[in-house]
Structure 1
Amino acid sequence: MRADRLLQIMALLRRHGRLPARRLAELLEVSERTILRDMESLSAAGVPVYTDRGRGGGCSLLPGYRTEVSGLSPAEAQALFAWTSGSGAAELGLSGELSSALTKLSATVPAPALEQAEALASVVVVDKRRWFAAADEVPMLPVLRDAATRRRRVSLTYAAASGGLSDARAPSVRVVDPYGLVENAGRWYLLAARDGERRTYRVSRIVAAEVLDEAAQIPEGFDLAEAWEEQRAALEHFSETCTINVALDPAIVDVFTTHARFQLAVGTDVTRQGNHEGWPVLQCTFRAWRAAVSIVLAYGGQVRLLAPAYLRARVLELAEASVAAHKEGGSWPGISRE
């Protein structure tokens, strides 16, 4: 660990020129006395560092001292420094390691390339979260990362989706062979085998995870990227799409279009289909009929479902059931109303 810290001190001094021992201690989470001892060790090893005491003093690296041996181009530096997924590393429990690695690497990157990488990072933000959706909580992700990298079986306590009105069924325990972890649009999934059959688990639904002292059974030549593509293709192939025509209040066309695009079937878009009684008509193909119904009901009288007829009947049925459930005088277990 000390050698690791000495490298970080060199990298920080190279980037900043001079830093107070107190600031170095804060950045590296050690005492100021430890930093001063480290500076003495670096000097004894021939590294041209020195410490000025008193007001305006600090730790410095001799100007002109370079360790630029990486040969990284500006574009390569931008790729490494600006596009590294900080959020993904944090969720995997590796944010500290990522910061340490980039600090070390910065000591080997030519100054112009490093400046361009930092400039790009200041003007680009990558937000992989979905609109109108809360971020998944994934506290078990570091445990799963450890199990997958060490090829160990895991005992999962998993709350599977219910498919009904409740969010999930009661958690149950199952032992799996972890193949790997996949992040898709801000959500993490564990690809694993249970009793020899491939399964996909949403990490946010994993209530607890224990790494077992048993070797995981991983198929010879297994490729995680290929396996995920197969899983995704199968899911998208068997999803029953639903195409609807809706007439919209002109005031909500833009917001409706934006909202709808998050639920569209792969390879489709919202298209204009003329007018109906002065309202523009849009056609949308959704991944599932429930998504189509939910967006129609969400906008109330500002959306008129024109086709298909069978779905209009379903919308009416659900709307009437909702009115009956929410009309004044209704009651629900555990809920009191004034």
Structure 2
Amino acid sequence: MTQVHPTRSLPGSTRVRPVTGQHFSTRVIGSSDLRVLPLALSGNIFGWTADDAATTSILNTFADGGGNFIDTADSYASGRSELMIGKWMRTRRNRDQIVVATKVGKSRDNPGMDAAAIKRSVDASLARLGTSHIDLLYLHVDDESVDFDETLLAVDELIGEGKVRYFGGSDHTGNRLIQARIACGQMGVAPMVAVQAHYNLLHRQEYETGLAHVAAIQGLGVMPRFALASGFLSGKYRQRADLALNSRGHDAAQYLRRRGIKILNALDEVAEEQDESVATIALAWLLNKPGVVAPVVSASRAEQVPELIAAARVQLTRHQSAELDRVSSY
């Protein structure tokens, strides 16, 4: 079980003491009271490329290392991801120690953001997860065919029923987040507390020139997705031949160009200086950015998890951060 102790270095924060003996400062998600290790373990491969044994091993390693934030969706492996996470929590009896985030809107059975679909989706997710509540519910799509008021009222009813604690956006532009906040204020319903955004060293402009400002104004906790750019920022793809060695090589191929190699070279230098892995440094760079709470990252093997968690304790120097900013500039 993870033990939490107060810290004097960050007022209002805590330190998580995992079984490894390392210490990590936790972060609060937006205006919620959800406090997490600043790394969200994605369940996007659970039930797909990761079978029961691999999933259990990955989750055990994550929890034993101090991790407490798990991100999934009702559409991941057609719901099998939620089933596997639920089974794991029951086996470990650790539901109270885990912050569970899931998403609705993309499932085959209940697509879209109308009130009926959202409520059916949440009930189905609760059953698969084997829990009475979802800590953080994401709207997985921005369904403009449905009036925002209907979507927001449905989520607020779920919050009132105790089935959902907090919610956020996952595929929304800054303008749509502003519209949502205005609508929430007018109707007197719970506002969003978090947003997921495509953000990493290779993909900066879209987030930094738009969504970042809105997230800051609204006090949203930012969860960067594709944080390692389909594995490219782990450093395992250095030449074309490497792409064929992994199922995600096709997705990473777009980055194997001059700019991508420059970024990897800079990451190599910082990783050597910090005595950490390239993936750890890429995540640490994200964690240095204002508003970022926890990058969302998947691991295909349990052995990969410690280097992901390590990002939570790495402190980049000002020079290292500036150099990574420079080589990845747009």
* TM range, smaller chain: under 0.3
Higher relative contact order (CA 8 A, sep 6+): 2
TM-score, structure 1 length as denominator? Answer: 0.22
- Greater percentage in strand: 1
TM-score, structure 2 length as denominator? Answer: 0.23
